[in-house]
Structure 1
Amino acid sequence: MLFRKFIVFLTSFCLAVSAHAAGLKVFEVPADEGGPSLRAVQWSPCAQPSQKIELGPFVLDAVRDCPLAGDKLPLIVISHGFGGTGLSHHDTAEALADAGFVVVALNHPDDNAIALASNHANALTAFVNRPQDIKRLVDYMITFSDDRAAINAERVGFYGFSRGGYTGLVLGGANPDFRELRMPCQDRTGMSCPRIAPQLVPVGPWVHDPRIKAFAIADPPSDVFPGKANLQAIRTPIQLWGSQNGGDGVLPAAVDALAHNLPETPDFHVVPDAGHFAFLTMCPPAMAKSAPDICADGPGFDRAAFHRDFNAQVLAFFRRQLVEGILP
């Protein structure tokens, strides 16, 4: 037992020090019979000092097109929330890549920030297409990407926030029920918003992906998984995060109910004093001014400090499930 613990420690240590920074590349998954092209960002271990890179409104600590350092590395895929982008969780991606994971995040075509701004978003279709987007992204990374030889296809994990969390639950085997789904409206709790018309209710088919061996899920819209029957097929380890205050239609009580309805007890964390958007990366000054609803936190809540702890715990979870768990 002591020898095994030593090997676990050594493997984790090697992952942690194998790179000095996160390599960064932007690429596109080609359109195919499964769906349209997918814009994606990849972070990977890099043996060079980090640089400051401006990408969209964000400044990233990374190295552009750095040769990937390492071999047979775990892969983590990231799914943003409604109106987000592949950069919405870049600090978490950087932390994982710095520690030896290949990390890739995409823009979901149906409900990303660009589609929303151009009035091309299809919010209901996204519920069906999102899991398929992630499956296609995993297919690409392990079969066609330039770095496929460095990725261990048996060690795939997933992180998703809000609708991204919903996406992960479906990929893990959940079957949602949208009959009680409400449309977005001015009520931030969502409780007084009108229900969607019966003829518009998404009915699948729901894409599951057994290649994903561990899920970190943050503040998912849990009301579309109303009971244990919707979740009974999930057998994959889950680290579940909920904000104490909720928001944007996500109710803390519904996330708590989800934790109790999952077949296997999740690693469940409730973040004190946090609102729904606390899981998003820290906003640069221009974004903080233009989007206070998603950038401003409650009195006394330090998003940067929370993310340091959050990223460390997400990293520890994926190490346990995708690194330590495979040792003999």
Structure 2
Amino acid sequence: MDVNAVPVVSVAPVSLPSPDRGHDLDVRVSAPVTGTGLPVVVFSHGFGSSLRGYGPLTDHWAAHGFVVVQPTHLDSRTVAVASPASPWRSRADDLRRILDDLAVLVRAVPGLEGRVDAGRVGVAGHSFGGQTAGLLLGLRVLDPDGVPGPDLSDARVQVGVLLATAGRGGDSLAPGMIERMPWLNPTFDGLTTPTLVVVGDADRSPLTVRGPEWMTDPYRLAPGATDLLTVLGGEHSLGGIPGYEAAETTDEDPARVAVVQRTTTAYLRSALEPGDDAWARARESVDPALARLESRDTAPA
């Protein structure tokens, strides 16, 4: 039993009218029933999922003091509209819209208004959602000529968590992938916001020829990525974060999920609550049988 967890209230869907998007932006907002000055985490789901996914992670964050906001992107299997020409840009626009209309979303949750600190914001995402969150942290997508696309970084965002997120493009990609998914060609040079990268050492993606090591690129190449958590034996679902008993989880392991829950919560807390030593304590308590942690001040050159 987690004695530090508190009950959570969750409201969904909260719809933000979006006539130019093809479908209103539907959002889930979850928050602890107690506490004030609550920081905000905006979470971007993986390709095809929705606001109803990722309960093992987002419920945990909310139960430990965060207001968690989850949009349903247009690539979701629950949205019957054609995929946008630039899905990465559409997804980033969704996250920015949430930050713009945060007060509206907060008012939709009974008892939450007046308890949120909109000046403390983090973004997080899994898989394609990790790249989406990365765009607000400074990641940019290269065009076919290698020219960086628009800078979509957002100064309102102070910290990021990227989970099982794609690495660099070019010769790292499997044949034909760049033609099918041209957004899989990021540059991490501008990602300077403090970020925790989480990977599984058994995450063998068909998108790359490099194996699980590909997913460590956001840590190796982004100046702002301070820490890398490698979940031992973890595949793309990192033990089961996409959902409770989710069909796409091929490596179900509550212990793996728990280490992701604990470390991401601690990282977000210390970044958004100055003086909180949760991250320092978490770094010391990572079970080496479950995960390996590298940090900028301890990682090999």
Q: TM-score range by the shorter chain?
A: 0.7 to 0.9
Counterparts of 2:239 and 2:102, CA distance in 1: 25
Question: In the alignment, is the contact (CA less than 8 A) between 1:157 and 1:215 conserved in 2?
Answer: yes
Query: What amino acid is aligned across from residue 29 of structure 1 in structure 2?
Result: L
Q: Note if 1:261 corresponds to 2:221.
A: yes
Instruction: Please identify the structure whose Cα radius of gyration is greater.
Output: 1
Distance 1:225 1:255 in 2: 14
1:23 correspondence with 2:9: yes
Residues in 2 aligned to 1:150 and 1:142: alpha-carbon distance in whole angstroms? 11
User: CA contact under 8 A between 2:197 and 2:225: conserved in structure 1?
Assistant: no
Within 2, Cα distance between the matches of 1:32 and 1:208? 24
Query: Identity percentage over the alignment?
Result: 22
- Cα distance 1:123–1:277, how it changes in 2: closer, same or farther (>3 A)? farther
In structure 1, distance between residues paired with 2:216 and 2:69: 29
**How high is the TM-score relative to the length of structure 1?**
0.68
Q: Secondary structure at the match of 1:149?
A: coil
Matched, 1:318 2:282: no
Residues 142-291 of structure 1 aligned to structure 2 (within 5 Å):
142=103, 145-146=106-107, 147-177=112-142, 179=144, 204-224=149-169, 230-246=187-203, 247-249=205-207, 251-278=211-238, 280-281=240-241, 288=247
Distance in 1 (CA, whole Å) between partners of 2:96 and 2:156 is 9
Would you say the 8 A contact 2:197–2:216 is kept in 1? Answer: no
Partner amino acid, structure 1, of 2:77: A
Measured at CA, do residues 225 and 101 of structure 1 come closer, stay the same or move farther in structure 2, by a change above 3 Å? farther
> How high is the TM-score relative to the length of structure 2?
0.74
Q: Give 1:37's match in structure 2, choosing from 24, 28, 41.
A: 24
Paired amino acid for 1:249: L
Distance 1:162 1:279 in 2: 14
User: Are the structure 2 counterparts of residues 133 and 237 from structure 1 closer, same or farther at C-alpha, using a change threshold of 3 Å?
Assistant: same
Deviation string, structure 1 residues 75-133 (Cα, Å, up to 9, x no partner)? 01110011111122112111111111111111012x11223xx5x34265211111111
Q: Hey, what's the Cα distance between the residues in 2 that align with 1:254 and 1:73?
A: 35
Q: Secondary structure at the match of 2:40?
A: strand
| Conservation of the 8 A alpha-carbon contact between 1:282 and 1:303 | no
- Structure 2 counterpart of 1:56: none
| Alpha-carbon offset, residue 33 of structure 1 | 5.9
CA distance in 1, matches of 2:170, 2:39: 29
Contact 1:131/1:168 (8 A) holds in 2 = yes
Give ranges in structure 1 of 5+ residues lacking alignment. Answer: 1-15, 47-68, 180-197, 289-293
Instruction: For residue 35 of structure 2, give the secondary structure of its aligned residue in structure 1.
Output: coil
Deviation at 1:174, TM superposition (A): 1.7
Match of 1:125 in 2: 86
8 A contact 2:164–2:236 mirrored in 1: yes
Is the Cα contact below 8 Å between 1:166 and 1:222 reproduced in 2? no
Equivalent position amino acid for 2:83 in 1: N
Q: Give 3-state SS (helix, strand or coil) of 2:233's partner.
A: coil
Indicate conservation of the 8 Å contact 2:127/2:165, yes or no. yes
Q: Distance in 1 between matches of 2:135 and 2:243?
A: 29
Distance verdict in 2 for CA 1:151–1:258, change over 3 Å: same
| Local SS of the residue matching 2:53 | coil
Give the Cα–Cα distance (whole angstroms) in 2 for the partners of residues 279 and 249 of structure 1: 20
**Could you tell me how far apart the structure 2 residues matched to 1:125 and 1:205 are?**
12
> Residue 30 and residue 315 in structure 1: after superposition, are their counterparts in 2 closer, same or farther (change >3 A)?
same
1:6-46: CA deviation from partner (whole Å, max 9, x where unpaired): xxxxxxxxxx85x7311111111221667752111111011
Q: Is the Cα–Cα contact under 8 Å of residues 176 and 225 in structure 1 kept in the other structure?
A: no
Structure 2: which 5+ runs fail to align? 173-185, 278-301
Q: Residue type of the partner of 1:314? A: T
CA shift at 1:70, angstroms?
2.5
Instruction: Report if the CA contact (8 A) 1:41-1:86 is conserved.
Output: yes
- Are 1:306 and 2:256 matched, yes or no? yes
Corresponding residue SS for 1:166: helix
Answer whether contact 1:177 1:225 (CA < 8 A) is retained: no
